[in-house]
């Protein structure tokens, strides 16, 4: 059975709303529908090879003209489009204004809205002035008198502070040094803030504790001196300071490493002590064979060093030999060291896994690991001791000391006294950890040693 779509396809008609079976009305009114379709909707098909963006720029009757300028239509804090209404524009006027910050009465002009005519200058609120205190003659004679300052000089100082808003560098520049004594910026600040503090105390109501600003002139002078010294450093001094900072960081890192090694060693020693004490306690309990101890809960056992074997508490069937496997946390070096010691002692690497043998074999290997770690820590301590001994000998040779040091066999000999090592404190930089000397101090020391050797040669 033919449908409406087939008939329209044969007659080259446009598609209808419903594609059901063809009826008599469709055939009779086909021309009317076609004319209506063409007049109502005028569709354009994008030609092949033309991009969608280019086709969207084409003009059609049913579409608006393409925009000539890019416009931002995103919603948010930006305006969508410029909305131009039919209202009248607010008029502007060229009008005069005065600035309250000026005292000369100067008149300026600028554009301003007519509605704002007669209002104050909007930027006058930024004209902030410093309130400089004013004192009377009686207050000065009773509370503010100073032998180093006259009243005329104090008045001159406060007048400049009021004129230049406490910019003391400008005050010091405009200060009358010819008529009055030559003062520094710190002296001017100290005099001004001391008077302000005294006036605040005097004028404060009874029973109140006012906040007073105290200016430390000595600290300010020392701070500026240090800044001047820091600014006037030579490139050699800067390089030496950077070198010393690097060496200080190395010393701190070595110190942290030593503290960490010492803590690890203490943990190993405590672990060894706890394991021996626990085994002695277990032996005592097994000898006594008290049934009450088995029924009661076991006390909390502290963590021990060595190997921590996992507990197999699964519901399935497991082999007892699995309890003898070393955990993955044990490294290959420790495993090889354990096997070597067991082979030297004639112990089988894979014994019969009975209950007692598994427990004792695991304890033996845990003790071997603990022994291995203690030996390693001991060798590290000996190595560091030997390095410190060599550094001490090098320092003695550099300082020209003639005292004895530890012998090669470890026998203690006579250590040098304090009188044997005589080096100036400024030139000597001794690091306990063994940091080398700075390049400048090394040069000074070499020059001092060469001069001392020349003097020794000239004496005979």
Distance CA 259, CA 253 (A): 10
**Confidence at residue 289, expressed as pLDDT on a 0 to 100 scale:** 54
Ramachandran angles phi, psi of 336, nearest 5°: -65, -40
Of 100, 95, 98, the C-alpha closest to 125 is: 100
Residue 80 sits at the vertex; the CA angle it makes with 78 and 82, to the nearest 5 degrees, is 105
**Confidence at residue 281, expressed as pLDDT on a 0 to 100 scale:** 74
Q: In 32-139, where do the E strands start and end?
A: 92-98, 107-113
**Confidence at residue 76, expressed as pLDDT on a 0 to 100 scale:** 58
Q: Are 307 and 326 in contact (CB under 8 A)?
A: yes
| Structure tokens given for 253 | 């890192």
**Confidence at residue 430, expressed as pLDDT on a 0 to 100 scale:** 42
Give tens-digit pLDDT for 374-418.
Answer: 888 888 888 888 888 888 888 888 877 544 444 444 444 445 444
Kindly tell me if the per-residue pLDDT of 169 is higher than 90. Answer: yes
Give tens-digit pLDDT for 268-281.
Answer: 778 777 777 777 77
Kindly tell me if the per-residue pLDDT of 435 is higher than 60. Answer: no
**Confidence at residue 423, expressed as pLDDT on a 0 to 100 scale:** 42
**Confidence at residue 297, expressed as pLDDT on a 0 to 100 scale:** 42
Q: How confident is the model at residue 419 (pLDDT cuts 50, 70, 90)?
A: very low
Of 11, 43, 42, the C-alpha closest to 29 is: 11
- Please check whether the domain covering 137-232 is classified as CATH 1.10.10.60: yes
Kindly tell me if the per-residue pLDDT of 14 is higher than 90. Answer: no
Q: Are 349 and 343 in contact (CB under 8 A)?
A: yes
**Confidence at residue 295, expressed as pLDDT on a 0 to 100 scale:** 41
The more confidently predicted of residues 199 and 345 is 199
**Confidence at residue 72, expressed as pLDDT on a 0 to 100 scale:** 57
Residue 212 sits at the vertex; the CA angle it makes with 206 and 217, to the nearest 5 degrees, is 145
Chain-wide mean pLDDT for the chain? 75
Question: Quick one: average pLDDT of 34-58?
Answer: 67
Of 250, 237, 284, 252, the C-alpha closest to 441 is: 237
Q: How many CA atoms lie within 13 A of 68 on its CB side?
A: 0
**Confidence at residue 410, expressed as pLDDT on a 0 to 100 scale:** 44
Dihedral of the alpha carbons of 123, 124, 125, 126, in degrees to the nearest 10: 70
Span between the terminal Cα atoms of the chain, in Å: 139
Place of tokens 């009773």: 142
Give tens-digit pLDDT for 302-359.
Answer: 444 567 676 666 666 667 777 777 777 777 888 888 888 888 888 878 788 787 888 8
**Cα dihedral 46, 51, 53, 57 sign:** negative
Q: Are 188 and 168 in contact (CB under 8 A)?
A: yes
Provide the residue ranges of all domains of the chain, joining segments of one domain with +. Answer: 92-126, 137-232, 235-282, 320-398
Question: Quick one: average pLDDT of 1-22?
Answer: 63
Angstrom distances, CA of residue 127 to CA of 57, 107, 131: 56, 17, 13
Q: How many CB atoms lie within 10 A of CB 192?
A: 21
Distance CA 400, CA 446 (A): 11
Kindly tell me if the per-residue pLDDT of 457 is higher than 60. Answer: no
Distance CA 179, CA 176 (A): 6
Question: Quick one: average pLDDT of 295-300?
Answer: 41
Residues whose CB is less than 8 angstroms from the CB of residue 38 and which lie 6 or more positions away in sequence, other chains included: none
Of 145, 160, 155, 159, the C-alpha closest to 194 is: 145
Q: How many CA atoms lie within 13 A of 277 on its CB side?
A: 10
Question: Quick one: average pLDDT of 360-369?
Answer: 82
According to DSSP, residue 61 is labeled T
Q: Which of 188-197, 431-440, 451-460 has the highest mean pLDDT?
A: 188-197
Distance of CA 332 to the CA centre of its chain: 39
Distance CA 117, CA 381 (A): 89
Q: Are 354 and 325 in contact (CB under 8 A)?
A: no
């Amino acid at each position: 059975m033919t449908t409406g779509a087939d008939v329209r396809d044969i007659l080259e008609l446009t598609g209808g709303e419903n594609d059901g079976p063809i009826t008599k009305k469709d055939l009779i009114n086909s021309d009317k529908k076609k004319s209506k379709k063409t007049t109502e909707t005028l569709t354009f098909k994008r030609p092949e090879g033309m991009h969608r963006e280019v086709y969207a720029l084409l003009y059609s009757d049913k579409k608006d003209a393409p925009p000539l300028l890019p416009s931002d239509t995103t919603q948010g804090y930006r305006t969508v489009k410029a909305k131009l209404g039919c209202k009248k524009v607010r008029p502007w006027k060229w009008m005069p204004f005065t600035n309250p910050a000026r005292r000369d009465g100067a008149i300026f002009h600028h554009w301003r809205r007519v509605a704002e005519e007669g209002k104050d200058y909007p930027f006058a609120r930024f004209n902030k002035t410093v309130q400089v205190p004013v004192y009377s003659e009686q207050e000065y004679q009773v509370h503010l008198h100073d032998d180093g300052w006259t009243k005329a000089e104090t008045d001159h100082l406060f007048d400049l502070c009021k004129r230049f808003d406490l910019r003391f560098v400008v005050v010091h520049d405009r200060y009358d040094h010819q008529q009055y004594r030559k003062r520094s910026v710190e002296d001017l600040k100290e005099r001004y803030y001391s008077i302000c503090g005294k006036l605040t105390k005097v004028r404060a109501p009874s029973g109140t504790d006012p906040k007073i600003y105290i200016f430390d002139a000595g600290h300010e002078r020392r701070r500026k001196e240090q800044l001047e010294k820091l600014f006037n450093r030579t490139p050699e001094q800067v390089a030496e300071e950077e070198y010393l900072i690097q060496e200080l960081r190395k010393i701190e890192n070595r110190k942290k490493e030593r503290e960490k090694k010492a803590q690890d060693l203490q943990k190993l020693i405590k672990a060894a002590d706890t394991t021996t004490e626990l085994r002695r306690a277990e032996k005592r309990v097994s000898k006594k064979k008290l049934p009450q101890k088995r029924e009661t809960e076991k006390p909390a056992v502290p963590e021990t060093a060595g190997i921590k074997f996992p507990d197999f508490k699964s519901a399935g069937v497991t082999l007892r030999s699995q309890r003898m496997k070393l955990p993955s946390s044990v490294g290959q070096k420790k495993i090889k060291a354990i096997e070597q010691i067991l082979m030297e002692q004639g112990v089988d690497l894979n014994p019969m896994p009975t209950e007692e043998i598994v427990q004792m074999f695991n304890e033996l290997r845990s003790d071997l690991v603990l022994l291995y770690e203690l030996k390693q820590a001991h060798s590290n301590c000996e190595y560091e001791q030997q390095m410190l001994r060599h550094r001490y000998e090098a320092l003695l040779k550099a300082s020209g000391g003639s005292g004895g040091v530890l012998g090669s066999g470890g026998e203690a000999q006579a250590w040098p006294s304090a009188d044997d090592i005589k080096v100036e404190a400024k030139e000597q930089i001794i690091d306990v950890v063994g940091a080398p000397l700075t390049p400048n101090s090394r040069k000074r020391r070499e020059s001092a040693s060469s001069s001392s050797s020349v003097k020794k040669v000239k004496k005979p």
